[in-house]
Structure formats: structure tokens, C-alpha cells
Amino acid sequence: MLDTPPSSAVPHPLPRPLILGSTSRYRRELLQRLRLPFEVLSPQVDETPAAGEAPADLAVRLALAKARAVAAQSPDAVVIGSDQVADLAGEPIGKPGDHARAVTQLRRMSGRAVVFQTAVAVVCRAIGFEQVQRVPVTVRFRTLDDAEIEHYLRAEQPYDCAGSAKSEGLGIALLSAIESDDPTALIGLPLIKTCELLRAAGVPLLGAGAGS
């Protein structure tokens, strides 16, 4: 599957193919902001946490595992892998998958701070490049009543989102604060860190030979 930049963009040639190792539509839409041609491949990685694994460590391990898995299939490409784990007092909170689990998650997070651990990795086997960065985002939830939770979930159905809320949509009404130095990290891909890693891997972001 090949993603091309919007028609208004003028794509510049890349030294190597660029691949997003993720099937997340949110990450794909974020990466499109950089106006680079890229391919999307599924990394086929087991995302089961290891016993006692901290959410931050899990996010880093899975981001790197996803990038490595796709890079093994396409060794000449620059591959991006990313993962996000919601951290509630040290407990990983995943995607709810259905309404009932989402209700449970939001009730537990009501009035509390949740750290969304988002990690991004870039791997290119051909040049021996492999780096990973983690971006924590602290999200403070308002004290929510059941009517608010029900209204929100019926309206947005965020069952494919860790933590059961979409900050880029109506989910912002559930929150009292977001604290991060990389604003797109909460949506699923920290673009500031992604750009940093791509430049380090030799990918020109603002024209051939562009610097920082």
C-alpha cells in the first residue's frame, strides 16, 4: 500500500524507500503531514506484555520490534515503528475493544492522571541504523460521571484507542490538561521525534540535503 502526499505537495526524491510499519490510520494520517511518499506494511508483532513489564518499557520494545520486523522484509528501506501504552499508576491500559471495557477504563481514569507512553523507532538494516525515542504525555482527566462517559462513548466510539478517548475529537472534553513537548505523540506518532530520527537516518525532510 503506497501513500502519496497531497496534490499540493511537491515530493522530493528520497535516498531510500520509506515504510511505516503500522496499520494504524492515525499514524498514517500523521506521517502524511511530512509530505513524503511512503509505504504501509503490517509488522506482525505479538504485543503481549511480558510479566512485570513497565508500560514505558513495553512501548519502547514494541516500537523497535515493529520497525525491525518490517526492516527484515525490506532491508534497504527506512522503516518507522511506533507503539503507545497508557500508563495508569504503573499498570498498562490497552485498547478497550468494546463499549463495556471502555466504560470501565474511563471510570478508572476519572479524576486521575494517565501517562501515555508513546515510542517511535527508525530502522534501516542496509546502513546499520537503529534508534528509538520515547515521548511520555501526561493526560489529566476531569472527574467524570456515568452520563458523561456514556454520552462520549456513544458519540465517538473510541474502542480502538488506548485509554478510550480521542483528544483530537470530542475526547478533549473529558480532560483538564495535557502535558507534552511533542504535540502529536498523544495521537500515536510523535512527529518532532520522528523527524529527528529520520534526519539521523539520512532522510531529507525539507529538500535534498536539508539540515536540521
- In the predicted structure, residue 209 carries a pLDDT above the cut 60: no
Q: Which of 83, 87, 146, 182 does the annotation list as catalytic?
A: 83
Q: Which domains does the chain have, with CATH numbers?
A: 2-200 (3.90.950.10)
Mean pLDDT lowest for which of 46-50, 145-149, 186-190?
46-50
CA angle in degrees (0–180, nearest 5) for 106-111-117: 65
Q: Under a CB-based contact definition with an 8 Å cutoff, are residues 86 and 59 in contact?
A: no
83 is annotated as an active-site residue? yes
pLDDT in tens, 65-92: 999 999 999 999 999 999 999 999 998 9
How high is the mean pLDDT of the chain? 90
Rounded CA gap, 160 and 157, in Å? 8
Identify the band that residue 190 occupies on the pLDDT scale cut at 50, 70 and 90: very high
Average pLDDT of 98-113? 96
Give the contacts of 106 (CB within 8 A, at least 6 positions apart).
Answer: 141, 144, 149, 152, 153, 164, 165, 174
What is this structure's pTM?
0.85
